[in-house]
Every structure is written in structure tokens, then in C-alpha cells.
């Protein structure tokens, strides 16, 4: 309940806005809401939730390449049907913090018997700077209760599957392997990137654990390998179709889809707080806000008190295998988070590449962002913190004094991590047209062109579809799609012309209204089989918008209502 109560604080402005605001900054939350709405619509209407032409019409959207989060869409289906995807988005953002903290607490309890210490570790993981950084914009990255569960099942496989005292070891290996596979599949259906980094970090941790306990590893490796083999086989079978979509499916993007080199950690990031923290140094903010490419990616801040406590605990408790493995894994994750080159402040050492440079040459892994390995830095720190607090309590006497000392030390260590909450609330007022009966004038399942034209620069119009219950398809959108003319992609018919012209109109720089331009635009609308154009006079020169569309269609609009000006029956 404490975790849940704390999670309401960052999103208080969204909960009190009555569904007219979406959590986040930038366009990612708008895309999150769109995919949550689409998955709900697809399940109810028996469509493919991973491939759709409701966006980026007529070419469509590959959900495996994009951040479709089908599992979250299914889990949020009742809320979406009852209250809409805006509310679902805020609910899932809010639940991400306590569920992640609870799963961290469950993992830590494998090695820590004192529940307050495990609670503190869960608090550090579930409300870490990593979740704080992504909690304002990246639902797929902030919803991370599964990595601790994956690690927990992997630890269970390694610790118990080789015991001959347990009846039916082969059956137990199959059961645990299947559970691990289901968790991995679930994580893929939330974020494939988080699953990839979880597997990489888990392999590192297992290697370190095997090196730390060579005799146990020799005794248990066959049974463990059997369970991991089952997990790999089941995962490959269940993810065969999504992986095909990712690698060779329609609307896939060859090569990296994001500039990963921009988002690497900084060696100073653990010590210098950025503007997302409540306690920060104003003179250092211009530098700190550039760590990992920006505050929405910087999850490496630890603070000097906690860093000292973690180092002391790792040294004093180095005889405990769990602390030794956690410390080394945390250090490895930190090195991976630094990216392919070491960056200290504004200086980058380009002479010697770091280990993460290898991943940039591995297909699919070349899309992983280095700075996001801070998730595992925080999870490892949470394990070490809990073990340290428990060890301190056991060594101090009397008991009450020990508990008070541990509480004071934990508060001192975690105080610098207090976030600057609540999140900034972005007001997103969707025109009343889309949430009223007026939208029924648009034929269901038809194609509607929107202005402002939805794009990476302006994702808000995709929320019109969300508010309308995905009633219509539309070109454009804030999606990862092949560029016009890219390998294996036809250049003709892409929304380049219409998107470019409508973008110029929104910027207050309309093109020359020539017959050739009019003919080309109308030809593209015909190719799209567009029935409707829905216009909200907006942009730098709203007075130019309606005359432009009147010139394009050669007639006045059919209706002006609910904040929208509409042309119907264009086909």
C-alpha cells in the first residue's frame, strides 16, 4: 500500500484532469495511447493486434517494430472499453511504479529475511531514477515488474534444479523452464528492448555466479541447462511470429530505427543530479541535463551517500555470494550503460571502445540504447542496499537501536533520490466532435485525412482516432515506418507530398496554390480512398487553413461543429 500511495503523487495532475490530459512530454504518450486503443479495438473486432493499416494508411504499421505493447493493451482492455485509452495510459503509468517495486521486493526476499530491508530495496528499484526518467514519457520502458521475476526464476533454476533430493527433476526443469519462457514472452510483448537487455544482464550474472561457485555449477549445470533449453525452445515457438514481423515482416525498417549513440551514460551521472531531482545544484544543471541525452533517458543518478553505502556494503559483505555477484553485475551493467565510448562531463574518450560497442554490430541488438542499462544498475543497487541494511541490523545491539540506525541510514542514503514530482501535465484537449455523436458522420472503417497532419512533429491528432474509438483509418501518424524509397519500399504513394504540404501550412508557410499541386494532392487522396477530411484550424496562421482546403476541394465545408470543420463524401 505504501508503494501504491507513493505512485499517485507523480500523476496527480493527470488524475485530477478528468481524462483530458495524458501523462508525458513529447509525443510518446500519444503513441502509447494510440496503441493501447488499437489493441483493444483489434481484440474486440478480431483484427491482428500486431499489424494494422488504421495508422499510416494505406501501408500500415508493424506493431513489432513499433512500441505496440500488446500485453498492456490486453491487460488494460476493461479500462479502455469503460473509460477510454487516455485513462488506461494513466492507470498503467501509475501502476508501473508499485508493481515494479513489489517485484523487486519479491526478488530481494530470496536473500534477505528482514522485511524492512527488502522493502527499502524494493523502494529503491521501483522508484529509482531509471523509472523516474521514463515515467513521464515511455510506458513500455517504465513498466518493468517482469525483469526481477525473470531473474528470480533463473536463480531458482540454478539453485534447486540440480538437487537430487527433489522428486522429478526433469519435470521440475520443464515447469520452471516454461515459467521462465512465459515471463520472457510477456516481457517481449511489453518491450523487446527490455527483454534483450534483461537476457544480456542475466547471462552476465549467471556467468559470475558460476565463477563464484564452481563446485555447485559443476553439479547443477546439466539440470540448469535442461531448464534453460526448455525456456529457449518455448520462447522461440511462442515468439516466432512476432520475431518474423520484427525481422522480415511488412513495414519493417532495415537497420537501426533510433540513434542509439545519442543516449549513452556519463561517468559523472551517478554523482550529479539533473533537474528531475528535488535536490540539485543549479550551476550543474546545464551539464547534468545532457547526461544520457536528456532527463528522459538519464537513470544513472545514485547520489554520494548511497554510493558510499553501497561500496561499503559490497566490501564488507563480499564473502556473501549474492552480494559479490550483485556488485559485479551492477558494475557490468554500469559499464554497458556508458555506451560504446567513455563520456566524462562534456569530454568523450574515443580512443578505446567500451564493451557495448560490440552490441552495435549485432542485428536487432543494434537498436538497444545503452543508457537504459541503468535499470539493472538500480536493481543491483537495491539488492546490495537490502543486504547491507540487514547485516547492519544483525550486528548492532540492542534491537531497537539497530532498527533506528538502519532507518536513519536508509533515509540519509535515499534522500538525494527524492524526485521533483509531480510530473508536468500536458493538456491535450481533443475536439468535442470525436467524443460525440457527430463523429458518426464518418463512415465506420473509412479513411479520414486529419489536419494538423499526424506526424513525428505533431502526434496529438492521433488522439482524435483514440477519442473516436478507432472509428476510422488515417494516413500519417507518429510511427516507425520505412522512409520513402528505402530498400524494398515503394516511394510512390507515401504521405510525403500531403504531409509536407500540410506541414508547411501548419508552419504558416503555405505552398504556391498551383493547378499542378491541386491535381497531385487530389490524386493522392483518391489513391488513399479518403472519404473525409477533418480540419481543426490551427498552426501559426489558422486563418489560412480553411481557405486552403476550400481551394483544394472547390467547395465549402459540409459542417462546422465540435471544433472541427469537415468535408464529407470526397470519394
380 and 410, same domain (yes or no) = yes
DSSP reduced 3-state for 164: coil
User: 424 lies in a domain?
Assistant: no
Per-residue model confidence as pLDDT tens digits over 274-284: 999 999 999 99
Per-residue model confidence as pLDDT tens digits over 59-110: 999 999 888 899 999 999 999 999 888 889 989 999 999 999 999 999 999 9
215 and 108, same domain (yes or no) = yes
Complete DSSP assignment for 216-271:
HHHHHHHHHHHHHHHHHHHHHHHTHHHHHHHHHSTT--SS-SS-GGGS---TTTTT
User: 253 lies in a domain?
Assistant: no
Counting the structural domains of the chain, the total is: 3
* Confidence check: pLDDT of 493 > 50: no
* Cα 149 from Cα 157, distance rounded (Å): 12
Question: Which residues is 277 bridged to in the sheet?
Answer: 419
Mean pLDDT, range 185-206, rounded to an integer:
95
289 and 225, same domain (yes or no) = no
Last residue of a domain, one of 248, 270, 289: 248
User: 254 lies in a domain?
Assistant: no
User: 423 lies in a domain?
Assistant: no
Last residue of a domain, one of 390, 417, 444: 417
User: 427 lies in a domain?
Assistant: no
Percent of the chain scored above 70 by pLDDT? Answer: 92
Q: Are 98 and 6 in contact (CB under 8 A)?
A: yes
Angle, helices 545-553 vs 515-528, to 10°: value is: 80
* Cα 180 from Cα 206, distance rounded (Å): 15
* Cα 374 from Cα 336, distance rounded (Å): 9
* Confidence check: pLDDT of 268 > 50: yes
106 and 206, same domain (yes or no) = yes
DSSP reduced 3-state for 566: strand
- Output the pTM of the full model: 0.90
Last residue of a domain, one of 391, 417, 443: 417
184 and 317, same domain (yes or no) = no
* Cα 543 from Cα 545, distance rounded (Å): 6
222 and 243, same domain (yes or no) = yes
44 and 160, same domain (yes or no) = yes
* Confidence check: pLDDT of 188 > 60: yes
244 and 275, same domain (yes or no) = no
* Confidence check: pLDDT of 502 > 50: yes
User: 339 lies in a domain?
Assistant: yes
Per-residue model confidence as pLDDT tens digits over 374-387: 999 999 999 999 99
Region label for 291, one of left (φ > 0), alpha (ψ between -120 and 50) or beta (otherwise): beta
Mean pLDDT, range 186-191, rounded to an integer:
96
Question: Which residues is 451 bridged to in the sheet?
Answer: 535
| 87, three cell numbers | 485513462
The pair phi, psi for residue 348, each rounded to 5°, is -120, 130
* Confidence check: pLDDT of 501 > 90: yes
* Confidence check: pLDDT of 489 > 50: no
446 and 307, same domain (yes or no) = no
115 and 177, same domain (yes or no) = yes
Q: What Å distances lie between residue 106 and 98, 100, 423, CA to CA?
A: 12, 10, 28
Q: What Å distances lie between residue 443 and 398, 471, 521, 531, CA to CA?
A: 75, 8, 22, 8
User: 353 lies in a domain?
Assistant: yes
Q: Are 258 and 295 in contact (CB under 8 A)?
A: no
User: 230 lies in a domain?
Assistant: yes
User: In angstroms, how far apart are the furthest CA atoms of the chain?
Assistant: 89
230 and 264, same domain (yes or no) = no
Residue range(s) defining the domain that contains residue 503: 432-482+491-567
140 and 274, same domain (yes or no) = no
Amino acid at each position: 500500500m505504501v508503494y501504491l500511495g507513493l505512485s499517485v503523487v507523480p500523476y496527480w495532475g493527470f488524475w485530477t484532469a478528468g481524462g483530458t490530459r495524458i501523462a508525458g512530454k513529447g509525443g510518446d504518450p500519444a503513441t502509447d495511447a494510440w496503441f493501447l486503443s488499437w489493441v483493444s479495438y483489434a481484440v474486440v473486432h478480431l483484427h491482428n493486434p500486431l499489424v494494422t493499416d488504421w495508422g499510416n494508411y494505406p501501408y500500415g504499421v508493424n506493431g513489432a517494430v513499433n512500441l505496440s505493447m500488446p500485453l498492456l493493451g490486453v491487460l488494460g482492455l476493461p479500462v479502455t472499453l469503460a473509460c477510454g485509452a487516455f485513462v488506461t495510459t494513466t492507470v498503467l503509468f501509475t501502476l508501473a511504479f508499485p508493481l515494479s517495486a513489489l517485484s523487486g521486493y519479491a526478488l530481494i526476499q530470496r536473500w534477505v529475511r528482514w522485511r524492512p530491508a527488502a522493502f527499502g530495496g524494493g523502494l529503491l528499484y521501483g522508484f529509482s531514477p531509471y523509472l523516474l526518467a521514463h515515467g513521464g514519457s515511455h510506458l513500455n520502458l517504465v513498466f518493468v515488474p517482469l525483469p526481477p521475476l525473470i531473474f528470480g526464476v533463473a536463480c531458482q533454476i540454478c539453485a534447486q534444479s540440480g538437487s537430487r533430493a527433489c522428486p522429478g527433476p526433469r519435470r521440475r526443469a520443464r515447469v520452471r523452464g516454461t515459467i521462465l519462457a512465459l515471463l520472457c514472452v510477456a516481457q517481449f510483448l511489453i518491450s523487446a528492448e527490455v527483454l534483450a537487455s534483461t537476457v544480456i544482464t542475466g547471462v552476465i550474472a549467471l556467468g559470475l555466479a558460476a565463477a563464484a561457485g564452481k563446485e555447485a555449477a559443476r553439479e547443477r549445470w546439466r539440470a540448469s541447462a535442461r531448464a534453460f533449453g526448455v525456456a529457449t525452445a518455448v520462447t522461440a515457438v511462442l515468439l516466432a511470429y512476432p520475431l518474423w514481423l520484427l525481422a522480415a515482416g511488412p513495414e519493417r525498417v532495415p537497420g537501426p530505427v533510433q540513434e542509439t549513440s545519442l543516449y549513452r551514460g556519463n561517468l559523472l551521472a551517478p554523482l550529479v543530479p539533473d533537474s528531475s531531482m528535488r535536490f540539485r545544484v543549479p550551476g550543474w544543471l546545464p551539464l547534468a541535463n545532457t547526461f544520457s541525452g536528456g532527463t528522459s533517458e538519464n537513470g544513472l543518478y545514485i547520489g554520494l551517500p548511497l554510493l558510499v553505502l553501497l561500496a561499503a556494503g559490497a566490501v564488507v559483505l563480499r564473502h556473501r555470494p549474492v552480494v559479490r555477484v550483485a556488485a559485479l553485475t551492477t558494475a557490468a551493467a554500469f559499464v554497458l550503460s556508458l555506451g560504446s565510448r567513455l563520456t566524462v562531463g562534456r569530454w568523450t574518450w574515443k580512443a578505446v571502445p567500451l564493451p557495448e560497442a560490440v552490441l552495435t554490430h549485432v542485428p536487432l541488438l543494434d537498436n538497444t540504447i545503452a543508457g537504459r542499462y541503468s535499470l539493472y544498475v538500480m536493481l543491483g543497487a537495491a539488492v546490495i542496499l537490502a543486504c547491507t541494511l540487514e547485516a547492519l541490523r544483525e550486528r548492532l545491539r540492542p534491537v531497537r537501536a539497530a532498527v533506528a540506525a538502519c532507518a536513519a541510514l536508509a533515509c540519509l542514503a535515499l534522500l538525494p533520490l527524492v524526485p521533483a514530482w509531480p510530473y508536468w501535465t500536458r493538456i491535450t484537449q481533443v475536439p468535442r466532435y470525436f467524443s460525440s455523436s457527430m463523429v458518426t458522420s464518418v463512415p465506420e472503417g473509412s479513411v479520414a485525412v486529419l489536419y494538423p497532419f499526424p506526424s513525428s512533429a505533431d502526434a496529438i491528432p492521433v488522439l482524435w482516432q483514440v477519442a473516436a474509438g478507432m472509428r476510422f483509418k488515417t494516413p500519417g501518424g507518429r510511427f516507425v515506418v520505412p522512409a520513402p524509397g528505402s530498400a524494398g519500399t515503394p516511394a510512390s504513394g507515401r504521405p510525403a507530398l500531403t504531409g509536407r504540404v500540410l506541414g508547411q501550412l501548419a508552419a504558416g508557410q503555405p505552398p504556391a496554390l498551383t493547378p499542378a499541386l491541386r491535381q497531385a494532392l487530389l490524386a493522392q487522396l483518391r489513391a488513399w480512398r479518403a472519404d473525409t477530411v477533418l480540419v481543426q484550424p490551427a498552426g501559426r496562421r489558422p486563418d489560412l487553413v480553411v481557405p486552403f482546403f476550400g481551394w483544394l476541394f472547390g467547395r465549402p465545408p459540409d459542417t462546422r461543429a465540435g471544433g472541427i470543420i469537415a468535408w464529407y463524401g470526397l470519394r
